[in-house]
Chain A
Amino acid sequence: MTDHDLLIEKLGREMQPVKPLRSTGRRVFTWLLLALPCGIAASFLVQRSFTDWAQPGALQAIFQLVLAFILGTLAIRSAFNISIAGRRSISWKALLPIGLLWLGMSISQIPGEVPIEHDNDSARCFTFLLVVSTPMMALMIASLRRTRALHPVRSLAMAGLGVSCMAVTLLAFCHPVHLHPLDFVMHLAAIVTIVALTVLVGKRWVTFDS
């Protein structure tokens, strides 16, 4: 009997029935159902005032919020698909136009000529995004751990992008409609930090050998 046959016999003996994975759509929906309330609960740890939707430019802010949510959902879906062998996932190139549109709209929300008052809120934006994304990140890593990931870094980077987009969506409910340049920089810094943290923290949990 060869080594492979011995291993196969052993795996056969050890084998237990397994629950097949649910469809990616249902996994994304379940994740959103769990992660968003956790993110909202975490947001109460950071004191912020709600957005004044009566301000001019609110419609654009709503559109931006919807874009962030769509981009986040697609990124989470892609992260789940990348982690499973043989599944096709949306390429980052397909997500790029939505990302660029969100970025362009954010820049257009920065008043150009008239300097707006700023109460040094940028650091709190950064903190908010990180605090809100922490439970969502943990849930995402736990979800990916169930399947393990064939390409851990790619899956986790996409997951980090999805989590950061969801955090940005939640931030839109408690952020002035107009954006200060420093706010914008801090938002981008938080997104990069969340993606990096998701990859660094998640890597040891989702690789096959973990």
Chain B
Amino acid sequence: MQTSDSARESWPALMEQAQAGDQRAYTRLLKALVPVIRAQTRKQITDNALVEDVIQDVLLTVHRVRHTYDPAYPFLPWLMAIISARAIDALRRRGRHQQWEINDDAMPEVASPPDAPQQETQEELAGYLRQLPSRQRDIVEHVHLREMSLTEAAAHNNLSVAAVKSLLHRALTNLRRFGANHDRS
């Protein structure tokens, strides 16, 4: 979808209204930005799934730093800088993640522990996770097992970063309690 120049010209005014608390102007602006963010991100990233993640990251970042936009300055450079920074962050994170995967693959077979205890540990972990409320379990899986950032987990679960932190804290407290009870029994 090509965004017309006249629509783009309305973005600074929409953001100004959003800063003043106009929710309709804000959602209108964010919806108008999605195709632009997607097009810009695709210039840096080819993986479609990662592009969609970056779009969510950018929307969350725009939300978080909307007070830093000054209507006296043009809107697009502000947005483009955020898109570029978040896309680079996503690529860095993916690079780290892939490196871990490669290192895991490259490990010699003799170095891997025997299957039975590993399976036992996995079952034990799964048992603890099953005891958690579903929202807490999802957050632990996303942040600790899938190595998502807090922002990614927030976007994925449609929550704020603060809510993710809180859920994670509660989940870890519960897991510690389960572990302590298990050790005593």
Contacts and interface: CB of A to CB of B under 8 A. Distances in A.
Given A4-B56, A9-B27, A14 B160 contact: yes
A11 to B, nearest CB: 5
Nearest to A14: B160
Interface of A is mostly: loop
Given A86-B77, A86-B81, A209-B150, A8 B59 contact: yes
Nearest to A87: B73
Interface in A160-174: none
A209 B161 contact: yes
A147 B55 CA distance: 20
A5 B31 contact: yes
A61 to B, nearest CB: 39
A147 B68 contact: yes
B63 A15 contact: yes
Contacts of A6: 158
Nearest to A5: B31
Interface stretch (B15-23, B109-117, B166-174): B15-23
B70 interface: yes
Interface magnitude class on chain B = 35 or more
A53 interface: no
A85 B26 CA distance: 19
Interface in B54-71: 55-56, 59-61, 63-71
A148 interface: yes
B30 interface: yes
B59 A85 contact: no
A150 interface: yes
Contacts of B20: 17
B80 interface: yes
Given A4-B59, A21-B70, A147-B67, 5 more contacts: A9-B27, A12-B24, A17-B20, A85-B79, A209-B161
10 contacts: A4-B34, A4-B59, A5-B31, A7-B60, A12-B23, A85-B77, A147-B65, A147-B67, A209-B150, A209-B151
Interface of B: 18-21, 23-24, 26-27, 30-31, 34, 52, 55-56, 59-61, 63-71, 73-74, 77-82, 85, 149-151, 155, 158, 160-161
Q: Which 5 A-B pairs have the closest CB atoms?
A: A17-B21, A86-B77, A85-B81, A86-B78, A12-B27
